[in-house]
Amino acid sequence: MTEKKFTTSSGIEIKDLYTSAKPMTEKPGEFPFTRGIQKDMYRGRLWTMRQYAGFSTAAESNKRYHYLLSQGTTGLSVAFDLPTQIGYDSDHEMSEGEVGKVGVAIDSLQDMEILFNGIELEKITTSMTINATAAILLAMYIALAKKQGADLKQISGTIQNDILKEYAARGTYIYPPKPSMRIITDIFEYCSKEVPKWNTISISGYHIREAGSTAVQELAFTLSNGKAYLNAALEKGLDINVFAKRLSFFFNCHNNFFEEIAKFRAARRMWANITKEMGATDPKAQMLRFHTQTGGSTLTAQQPLNNVIRVTNQAMAAVLGGTQSLHTNGYDEALSLPTEEAAKIALRTQQVIAFESGVTDTVDPLAGSYFVENLTDEIEAAAQQYIEKIDAMGGAVEAIENGYIQNEISIAAYHHQLEVEAAERIIVGVNKFAQEQEGITDVMRIDESIRNFQADKITLLKIQRNAVAVTEKLAELKHAAASSTNIIPFILAAVEEYATLGEISDVLRAEFGEY
């Protein structure tokens, strides 16, 4: 009989016993930050507890934000609907059937004003999961901050703004890679001067993992994308010791507890070395700061209350791995957008870990574990092989354009599915311990009338706004896009005259083309 082989989800073989590891010489807060980016980690400050939320109209989402803030969330995280993500107003024919469904519909600055009604932007950090239209949504946020009288030097938050993973894994891109990279570096440059506390990109492995990659691939492809953004900014003449401080990362956390912890530790070490090799000398420019979301693709529609346990396991791994920010999924998200009750339990999961589990009392509590230290090294080595292969192709942009990264993800997803179907990979309640479907009747439904509501608002907005000023600002944006001028001030000027997201996107479509 062949002895059973134990492996991580990335195929790294696990020994039955680990009896040694390389000595740990570094301390937390010291290069290469394997043990964490702060010397006191959660003893000094807990991670930011976010709950990703956005649905229906800006007014409905605003109610959810106020509820979450009243329940103890410490940062907001905005989900946008699909039309907003790909640059269509709610009244566009391409928006039919999608308005307000997977996030909130934002058509203009007017919607942004409603979305954050009663919330002082200077007192909260906001993460926005937006990519192709990130510059427009950031401009709306800045315009609103100005209207509130906020000090732009003090407002803080993050835009995802990671277009490379959209081509590889998620699909909400608009423009070809080169103009998309130009927009991103324009954001880097603008924010470093005008909103210096803003994180200008959240380089995202989350969606790579959701598309079916392994943990090693998630790490390798994310860091390769990060290198591409560093190179693009350096080519623009930006100072790596300035702009690299405002880069952040967004990772997934799946069910293999120790693999995920080791992945996060390896990520910090690898990024520290990458930035150092590319010229960063300021330790803050070498630090990998990251947000974590628990694994959406691990949630099951079968026996959905089991998802509470999965999310707890994943959240604990993210905390032990040293995350700076965390979103925990609702148990019902395999069925619908989370209900208020599911969102509350997800938030309470973080609060129980933070205040009751004791894992925050010491820094990097798993450091020195023979298994964790060896697994960290093995994940780093496996990810480094991928990065070197991508570098040999010319970098992440080229690896995406020739389909290499997409193909590797597809192969991994296919093998995972085969393992599930053969019950070689157990999913409790699905291919083992199954039972008749547990009914959850309280699921969120988004009414189709939302599109008509938004369309009527756009019609009224266009009657009330200064049409001459809008036309003038859009023409100035078109001229800037055709030159090498930074386009962000021109987007902001158009937003402040209540040009719509679709109108601004169409100007850039006409200049840059579609991919």
Sequence length of the chain is 515
pLDDT in tens, 40-85: 999 999 999 988 788 889 999 999 999 999 999 888 999 999 999 9
Question: What's the confidence (pLDDT) of residue 220?
Answer: 98
Question: What's the confidence (pLDDT) of residue 447?
Answer: 75
Question: What's the confidence (pLDDT) of residue 51?
Answer: 83
Question: What's the confidence (pLDDT) of residue 445?
Answer: 76
List the structure tokens of 133. Answer: 């239209």
Tell me which residues of the chain have a pLDDT lower than 70.
1-2, 438-441
pTM for this entry:
0.93
SS (HEC) of 216-256: HHHHHHHHHHHHHHHHHHHHCCCCHHHHHHHEEEEEEECCC
CB of 267 closer than 8 Å to CB of 280: no
Q: Is the dihedral of CA 316, 322, 327, 333 positive or negative?
A: negative
* H or E segment to which residue 336 belongs: none
pLDDT in tens, 468-509: 999 999 999 999 999 999 999 999 999 999 999 999 999 999
Question: What's the confidence (pLDDT) of residue 439?
Answer: 63
List the structure tokens of 29. Answer: 């807060």
CB of 259 closer than 8 Å to CB of 379: yes
In the Cβ-directed half-sphere of 325, how many Cα atoms lie within 13 Å?
23
